[in-house]
């Protein structure tokens, strides 16, 4: 069974640009959650999508947005990039969503904002 | 405010030297406490979920326990391959919109 895949794996952008990250969940999983990981703040929850609907949202500004498609693949978009957006962005999938016993994480996309 | 604190930040052990990692939490009604392992350059890997005080779970050299205010991850006779960052996360019934709140992790190094 293929795991969670994320593309691209590495990305370099400049301030003010926007970026779109992609996540393909494990087959059969309907929930996709996104997280930001930085050395200073650790892992922070961004949002969760379930069956194409945003079900939960963390405390991030509106520049961070996402969507989920009918095949459960999800994209995350960050507009007007800031230096502080440099981080590892992780997505995780599960059958039923947050609180379920097992969430499977992808390898992440490392974003560097210059 | 829901909060998770892990200690120590870093731990260096000799192979075979048992120890424990701590995760203390403050949540408005615990729905579940999760332990993950993260290797460099990879996403977190699920280890355990604990739901109520007194619960214990084991997997190979790892044993997780839960009280009303904290959880411990006990590592018995660790091996170098146990070296990783161990993350603790909690989910509350109320507040935090049901999100997972992560601690900053404990970086474990096991020397042969």
Q: What is the mean pLDDT of chain B?
A: 92
pLDDT band at A100 (very low <50, low <70, confident <90, very high): low
CA quadruple A107, A109, B1, B5: dihedral sign: positive
Chain A environment of B41 (Cβ under 8 Å): 107
Greatest pairwise CA separation for chain B in angstroms: 44
Q: In the prediction, which pLDDT does A9 show?
A: 96
Beta bridge partners of A76: A21, A66
Give the whole-angstrom CA distance, residue A105 versus residue B5: 22
Beta bridge partners of A110: A10, A88
Beta bridge partners of A64: A78
* Residue from the list B49, B100, B102 with its beta carbon closest to the beta carbon of A101: B49
Helices (H), ranges, B1-112: none
Interface test with A, best of B97, B101, B105, B107 (most A CBs within 10 A): B97
Greatest pairwise CA separation for chain A in angstroms: 39
Mean pLDDT in residue range A33-56: 91
Q: In the prediction, which pLDDT does A95 show?
A: 82
pLDDT band at A96 (very low <50, low <70, confident <90, very high): confident
Which residue is listed with tokens 């930040």?
A: B9
pLDDT tens for B61-108 read: 999 999 999 999 999 999 999 999 999 999 877 655 567 889 999 999
Contact between residue A92 and residue A74 where contact means Cβ atoms under 8 Å apart: no
pLDDT band at B28 (very low <50, low <70, confident <90, very high): confident
Q: In the prediction, which pLDDT does B10 show?
A: 97
Q: In the prediction, which pLDDT does A101 show?
A: 62
Chain A environment of B10 (Cβ under 8 Å): none
Q: In the prediction, which pLDDT does A94 show?
A: 86
Mean pLDDT in residue range A29-35: 93
Mean pLDDT in residue range A35-53: 92
Comparing C-alpha atoms, which of B54, B46, B52 is closest to residue B86?
A: B46
Q: Torsions phi, psi of A32, nearest 5?
A: -130, 125
Q: Which residue has the higher pLDDT, B75 or A40?
A: B75
Interface test with B, best of A95, A105, A106, A110 (most B CBs within 10 A): A105
Mean pLDDT in residue range A16-36: 95
pLDDT band at A113 (very low <50, low <70, confident <90, very high): very high
Does the pLDDT at position A99 exceed 70? no
Comparing C-alpha atoms, which of B59, B60, B65 is closest to residue B22?
A: B65
Beta bridge partners of B45: B37
Interface test with B, best of A49, A103, A110 (most B CBs within 10 A): A103
Helix (H) or strand (E) holding B91: strand B84-92
Share of chain B above pLDDT 70, in %: 96
In chain B, positions 42-61, which contact chain A (CB-CB < 8 Å)?
Answer: 42-46, 49
pLDDT tens for A75-95 read: 999 999 999 999 999 999 988
Which residue is listed with tokens 């990981």?
A: A37
Calculate how close chain A gets to B26, using CA atoms only, in Å.
16
pLDDT band at A98 (very low <50, low <70, confident <90, very high): low
Chain A environment of B86 (Cβ under 8 Å): none
| DSSP assigned state of B98 | G
Contact between residue B99 and residue B27 where contact means Cβ atoms under 8 Å apart: no
Q: In the prediction, which pLDDT does B37 show?
A: 97
Helix/strand/coil (H/E/C) assignment for every residue in A29-71: CCEEEEEEEECCCEEEEEEEEECCEEEEECCCCCCEEEEECCC
Which residue is listed with tokens 């474990």?
A: B108
Does the pLDDT at position B50 exceed 90? yes
């Amino acid at each position: 069974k293929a795991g969670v895949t994320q593309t691209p794996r590495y990305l370099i952008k400049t301030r003010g640009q926007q970026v779109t990250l992609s996540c393909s969940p494990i087959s059969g999983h309907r929930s996709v959650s996104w997280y930001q990981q930085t050395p200073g703040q650790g892992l922070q929850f961004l949002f969760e999508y379930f069956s194409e609907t945003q079900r939960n949202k963390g405390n991030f500004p509106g520049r961070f947005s996402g969507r989920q498609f009918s095949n459960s693949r999800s994209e995350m978009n960050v507009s007007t990039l800031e230096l502080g957006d440099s981080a590892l962005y992780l997505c995780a999938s599960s059958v039923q969503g947050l609180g379920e016993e097992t969430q499977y994480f992808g390898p992440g996309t490392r974003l560097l904002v210059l | 405010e829901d909060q998770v604190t892990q200690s120590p930040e870093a731990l260096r052990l000799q192979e075979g030297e048992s120890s424990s990692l701590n995760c203390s939490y403050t949540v408005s009604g615990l729905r579940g406490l999760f332990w993950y392992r993260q290797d460099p350059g990879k996403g977190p890997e699920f280890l355990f979920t604990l739901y109520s005080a007194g619960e214990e779970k084991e997997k190979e050299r790892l044993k997780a326990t839960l009280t009303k205010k904290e959880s411990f991850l006990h590592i018995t006779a660790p091996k170098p391959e146990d070296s990783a960052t161990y993350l603790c996360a909690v989910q509350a019934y109320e507040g935090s919109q049901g999100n997972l709140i992560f601690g900053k992790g404990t970086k474990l190094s096991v020397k042969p």
